[in-house]
Amino acid sequence: MAELNYGQMRLAMQTDEAKRARQREHVKNSYYRQQARTNAAKKNVMKALRRKVCELEREYSCTIQLKQQLQLREDTGASDSDKTTDDLVEQYMQLSIKKQQLCRENQELALIVAKHATFQFKMQNFLDSKPKLTLEPPPITYSPSRAFQVNEITLESFSVPECHQIALDAYQEIRNFLQSNSYLTSGLELFGWREQRREAPDHVKFTLKKRFPGVNSMEMSARGWRVVSSPRGLMGLYSSTMRLSIKVLQVVDDHNVIMYRVITNTNTMATVQSLFLVTRFHMANGYIILFRSVDHNRLRRIHPDGSIGTWDTQGGGTQVKWLDMFTWTLFEDEPDNGNAVIFSYGGIVYSTPAADTRVWMLEILSLALRWENKVVGPPLMVSG
């Protein structure tokens, strides 16, 4: 009996010791987590204080210089005109300080706009993923014997590094094109848009440019991203004569989306398909939103029973036409002016059974005007 009680007591002591050890470990981990949060908060405060110190030092330096000038003029017997000049200098100093405050406020507001744009993007994709209480467009016909809908398609997922590599390669191609001087231009402007192009038998490389005052590249690119990162917004940029269907197949992250598009020629019923990445990223002097085709062999078909199968690349016995997509929008801050953007819309368009290059160039010009209307505002304002 004594041995039994001793064993129970030792077991109880071991259990209590284990509980105390776990409690000590929990307290230690909580302490370290709290220390990490405290250190991070201290670092943020220190960064903010350093920025404030730099600003105050600049203001102090300006004030000292102005005071020295005033003292020098007083010592040499300043006239009334000199006093007037001193007043103007003082006003200029106050305006300079006010300008710095407004610039800081503008940067803070731009960050808020970017956060709201990200939230809007997530909500738009959430809404697009929900069933809509509207009539769906008729299925897109690939052959006389087979109808197929974009809702029957899914995708082998892309990773963020893959999207970054696609964007990096495409950006290098864009830089090479923009740095070349071998292009044609009409020299005319339409609603402020100027065009440049390089023509080939089966495709045209183009760029349209326009200056937009009163906005910075972060704000304008965030507005543009809200439009083009959802099927509803992107389809709204095309004319009603273009019969097309678009579906988001994957939201990789807040700045990368994979979309699938089918365009049908209403006269010949010929169709072309595109699988492409839509991405937004920062560059040296602004932002870029890029549309670039990706490997369509990663498409998968959703069977009626819900199972996933390989993609039928022959479209029911007929050759499927794929349209390479490569377009971009550049948002560049105007040099020496943080309140104006040089916007460029460029890309490569190919002649296809659904639309030749001439049709595409007309569509591109009207698309640029519709983009401006949605993102910036109407190019023409009718006053009463």
Residues 314 and 166 in one domain: yes
- Is the pLDDT confidence value at 164 over 50? yes
Q: Residues 356-374: what's their mean pLDDT? A: 72
Q: Which residue has the higher pLDDT, 379 or 163?
A: 163
pLDDT tens by residue, 227-236:
888 888 888 8
Q: Which residue has the higher pLDDT, 157 or 109?
A: 157
CATH number at residue 142: 3.30.530.20
Residues 247 and 336 in one domain: yes
Residue 46 domain boundaries: 2-78
Question: What is the rounded (10 degree) CA torsion for 176, 178, 183, 189?
Answer: 170
Structural domain includes residue 83: no
Overall domain count for the chain: 2
Residues 148 and 265 in one domain: yes
Structural domain includes residue 30: yes
pLDDT tens by residue, 58-67:
777 777 777 7
Cβ atoms < 10 Å from Cβ of 167: 19
Q: Considering only CA atoms, give the Rg of the chain.
A: 31
Residues 7 and 139 in one domain: no
- Which of 30, 62, 78 terminates a domain? The answer is 78
Structural domain includes residue 254: yes
**Highest-confidence segment of 157-166, 240-249, 316-325:** 157-166
Residues 33 and 176 in one domain: no
Residues 138 and 71 in one domain: no
Residues 349 and 279 in one domain: yes
Residues 50 and 191 in one domain: no
Structural domain includes residue 91: no
- Determine which of 71-80, 83-92, 163-172, 256-265 has the lowest per-residue pLDDT on average: 71-80
- Is the pLDDT confidence value at 126 over 60? no
Q: Which two tokens stand for residue 149?
A: 């809908």
Structural domain includes residue 109: no
The pLDDT score that the predictor gives to residue 163 is 93
- Which of 33, 52, 78 terminates a domain? The answer is 78
Residues 244 and 154 in one domain: yes
Of 123, 366, 362, 153, which is closest to residue 245 (Cα–Cα)?
A: 153
Structural domain includes residue 86: no
Tell me the C-alpha distance between 139 and 84, whole Å: 77
pLDDT tens by residue, 304-359:
776 777 766 444 444 568 888 899 999 999 887 778 899 998 888 776 554 555 55
Stated pTM of the model: 0.58
Tell me the three-class secondary structure of the chain, residue by residue: CHHHHHHHHHHHHHHHHHHHHHHHHHHHHHHHHHHHHHHHHHHHHHHHHHHHHHHHHHHHHHHHHHHHHHHHHHHCCCCHHHHHHHHHHHHHHHHHHHHHHHHHHHHHHHHHHHHHHHHHHHHHHHHHHCCCCCCCCCCEEEECCEEECHHHEEECCCCHHHHHHHHHHHHHHHHHHHHCCCCECCCCEECCEEEEEEECCCEEEEEEEEEEECCCHHHHHHHHHHHHCCHHHHHCCCCCCCEEEEEEEEEEECCEEEEEEEEECCCCCCEEEEEEEEEEEEECCEEEEEEEECCHHHEEEECCCCCEEECCCCCCCCCCCECCCEEEEEEEECCCCCCEEEEEEEEEEECCCCCCHHHHHHHHHHHHHHHHHHHCCCCCCCCC
Q: Which residue has the higher pLDDT, 309 or 300?
A: 300
Question: What's phi and psi for 335, nearest 5 deg?
Answer: -55, 135
The pLDDT score that the predictor gives to residue 377 is 75
Structural domain includes residue 234: yes
Structural domain includes residue 119: no
Mean pLDDT of all residues belonging to the chain? 74
pLDDT tens by residue, 372-383:
888 887 765 433
- Which of 78, 95, 124 terminates a domain? The answer is 78
The pLDDT score that the predictor gives to residue 312 is 62
Residues 42 and 162 in one domain: no
pLDDT tens by residue, 70-121:
776 666 655 555 566 667 777 777 777 777 777 777 777 777 766 666 666 5
Q: Which two tokens stand for residue 262?
A: 């089918």
